[in-house]
Amino acid sequence: MALAFRDNLAVLVVVALLSTAYIMPLLTKIRRFRVAEYFAVAMLGLALSGGIYLAREILLHGTFTYAVGGWPAPWGIELSLDAVSGFFLITIGVVATPIMLYASVDLIKEVGSRSRAAWFLTLFLLLVAALCGLAVTGDLFNIYVMVEVATIASCAIVAARNDATSVEATFKYLMLATIGSGFVLLGIGFLFVLTGNLNMNFIAQELSMSWQKYPTALWVCLSFFMVGFGVKSALFPLHVWLPDAHSTAIAPSSAMLSSLAIKGYIIALLKVFYVAVGAKIITRLPITDILTLLGMVAIIAGALFALAQDELKRRLAFSTISQVGYIFLGIGLGNIHGLTGTFMHILSHATTKALLFLAAGAMIKHTGKSRISEMAGVGAAMPVTVGAFAVGSLSMIGIPLFSGFVSKWQLLLGSLANGNYLAVLVLVGGSLLAAAYLLPVLRMAFFERPLQKPVVANVSYVQLAALLFLVVVIISVGVVPDGVLQLASEAATALLGLEVLP
Amino acid sequence: MSVGVALVLASIVITTIGAIWVAAIPGEAKTQRHCIVVGAALVSAAMVWYLLYLGLGSGTYPAFRVGIASLSLDLTLDPLGLTYGILASTLWVFASIYSVGYMEHDTKQRQYFTFFLVSAGITLGIAFSGNLFTFYLFYELLTFATYPLVVHSGTKDALEAGRKYIRYSLVGASFILAAIVMLWTLTGGVLDFSSIPAALATASSGQLRILFFLFLIGFGVKAAIMPLHGWLLSAMVAPTPVSALLHAVAVVNAGVFGVLRTVYSVFGVDLVKSLSVRPILLVLCSVTIILGSLIALKQDVLKRRLAYSTISQLAYILLGAFILHPLALAGAMLHMIFHSTLKIVLFFAAGIVAEETGYLKVSELGGTGRILPVTMGSFGIISLGMIGMLPLSGFWSKYYLMRGSLAADAWILLVVLLLSGLLNALYFIPITVSAFTGTSDLKQRRKTKALLFMLVPTVIIAAFGVIFGLYPGLTLPLVDAVVAQFFSL
Amino acid sequence: MGEFWSRILQNYPYVFALALFAIGIYTILTHSNLFKKVIGINIMEGSIYILFIAAGNVRGGVAPILDMTDTTLTYVHPLPQALMLTGIVVSVSVTALSLALIMKLYRFYGTVDAKEIMRIRTEVRANGARIS
pLDDT at B447 over 70: no
**In a domain? residue C57:** yes
Residue of chain A whose Cα is closest to the Cα of C26:
A179
pLDDT at A280 over 80: yes
SS3 for A435-464, per residue?
A: HHHHHHHHHHHHHCCCCCCCCCCCCCHHHH
Q: Which of A313, A252, A248 is nearest to A123 (CA)?
A: A252
Inter-chain contact A186–C48, Cβ cutoff 8 Å? yes
**In a domain? residue C74:** no
Which residue from C48, C83, C131 is facing A182, i.e. has the nearest CB? C48
Number of domains chain A is built from? 1
Q: Which of A481-495, C57-71, C85-99 has the lowest mean pLDDT?
A: C57-71
**In a domain? residue C37:** yes
Q: Which domain holds residue A371?
A: 286-502
Q: What is residue B444's predicted lDDT score, i.e. its pLDDT?
A: 59
**Inter-chain CB pairs, A–C, below 8 Å:** 82
Burial B50-64 (b: 16+ CB within 10 A, else e): ebbebbeeeeebbbb
Query: What would the mean pLDDT of A268-293 be, rounded to a whole number?
Result: 88
- Predicted TM-score (pTM) of the model is 0.86
Query: How many other β-carbons are positioned within 10 Å of the β-carbon of residue B447?
Result: 7
pLDDT category at C132 given cuts 50, 70, 90 is very low
**In a domain? residue A299:** yes
Query: In which element (H, E) is residue B72 found?
Result: strand B71-76
Summarised one tens digit per residue, pLDDT across range B168-211 is 999 999 999 989 888 888 887 778 887 877 777 777 888 888 88
Mutate which: C90, C108, C118, C132, vs A, most A CBs within 10 A:
C90
Query: What would the mean pLDDT of A467-495 be, rounded to a whole number?
Result: 89
Query: What would the mean pLDDT of C15-21 be, rounded to a whole number?
Result: 93
Helix (H, G, I), strand (E, B), or coil: what is residue B238? coil
**In a domain? residue C78:** no
Q: Which of A456-465, B40-49, B212-221, C109-118 has the lowest mean pLDDT?
A: A456-465
Query: What would the mean pLDDT of B215-244 be, rounded to a whole number?
Result: 87
Inter-chain contact A192–C55, Cβ cutoff 8 Å? yes
**In a domain? residue C72:** no
C109 contact residues in A (CB cutoff 8 A)? 164
pLDDT category at A455 given cuts 50, 70, 90 is low
Q: Which of B460, B470, B475, B338 is nearest to B391 (CA)?
A: B470
Q: Which residue has the higher pLDDT, B435 or C18?
A: C18
Angle (nearest 5°) at CA B46 between B43 and B48: 115
**In a domain? residue A368:** yes
Q: What is residue A144's predicted lDDT score, i.e. its pLDDT?
A: 93
CA pair distance B245, B15, nearest whole angstrom: 16
**In a domain? residue A96:** no
Could you please report the per-residue DSSP string of B313-335? HHHHHHHHHHH--HHHHHHHHHH
pLDDT category at A418 given cuts 50, 70, 90 is confident
Residue B262 contacts residue B220 (beta carbons within 8 Å): no
Which residue from B136, B151, B174 is facing A400, i.e. has the nearest CB? B136
Chains that touch A (3 or more CB pairs under 8 A): B, C
Residue A54 contacts residue A81 (beta carbons within 8 Å): yes
* Helices B79-102/B251-260 angle, 10° precision: 170
Mutate which: B139, B140, B183, vs A, most A CBs within 10 A:
B140
CB-facing half-sphere around the CA of C75: CA atoms within 13 A: 13
**In a domain? residue C101:** yes
C-contacting residues of A 8-37, CB under 8 Å?
none
Q: What is residue A131's predicted lDDT score, i.e. its pLDDT?
A: 95
Residue of chain C whose Cα is closest to the Cα of A185:
C48
CA pair distance B6, B62, nearest whole angstrom: 9
Q: What is residue B138's predicted lDDT score, i.e. its pLDDT?
A: 92
Q: Which domain holds residue C100?
A: 2-63+83-127
- Those residues whose C-beta lies under 8 Å from the C-beta of residue B470, and which sit 6 or more positions away, are B391
Which residue from A152, A170, A182 is facing C45, i.e. has the nearest CB? A182
Summarised one tens digit per residue, pLDDT across range A191-238 is 998 888 888 888 888 888 888 888 888 989 999 999 999 999 999 889
Inter-chain contact C87–A185, Cβ cutoff 8 Å? yes
**In a domain? residue A51:** no
**In a domain? residue C77:** no
A174 in contact with C at a CB cutoff of 8 Å?
A: yes
Summarised one tens digit per residue, pLDDT across range B242-255 is 888 877 788 899 99
Quote the DSSP letter at residue A250.
-
Most confident of A48-62, A307-321, B69-83: A307-321
CA pair distance B202, B215, nearest whole angstrom: 19
Residue C47 contacts residue C27 (beta carbons within 8 Å): no
Q: Which of B316, B296, B293, B304 is nearest to B420 (CA)?
A: B293
CATH code for the domain in which residue C48 is found:
1.10.287.3510
Query: What would the mean pLDDT of C71-96 be, rounded to a whole number?
Result: 90
Number of domains chain C is built from? 1
A424 in contact with B at a CB cutoff of 8 Å?
A: yes
Q: Which residues pair with B75 in a beta bridge?
A: B64, B129
**In a domain? residue A447:** yes
**In a domain? residue A173:** no
* Contact C/B (≥3 CB pairs under 8 Å): no
Could you please report the per-residue DSSP string of B430-443? HHHHHHHHS--S--
Which phi and psi (to 5°) does residue A451 adopt?
A: -85, -30
pLDDT category at A427 given cuts 50, 70, 90 is very high
Query: What would the mean pLDDT of A232-261 be, rounded to a whole number?
Result: 90
Q: Which of A377-381, A496-500, B67-71, B202-206 has the lowest mean pLDDT?
A: A496-500
Which residue from A413, A446, A481 is facing B68, i.e. has the nearest CB? A481
Summarised one tens digit per residue, pLDDT across range A124-167 is 999 999 999 999 998 898 999 999 999 999 999 999 888 888 89
Residue A388 contacts residue A359 (beta carbons within 8 Å): yes
State the smallest CA–CA distance between residue B137 and chain A in angstroms: 6
**In a domain? residue A306:** yes
CB-facing half-sphere around the CA of A297: CA atoms within 13 A: 12
Inter-chain contact A165–C121, Cβ cutoff 8 Å? yes
Q: Which of B238, B229, B224, B227 is nearest to B157 (CA)?
A: B238
Chains that touch B (3 or more CB pairs under 8 A): A
Which residue from B71, B148, B154 is facing A449, i.e. has the nearest CB? B154
**In a domain? residue C132:** no
Query: What would the mean pLDDT of B348-359 be, rounded to a whole number?
Result: 83
ipTM for the assembly: 0.91
Q: What is residue B442's predicted lDDT score, i.e. its pLDDT?
A: 62
Q: Which residue has the higher pLDDT, A217 or A456?
A: A217
**In a domain? residue A142:** no
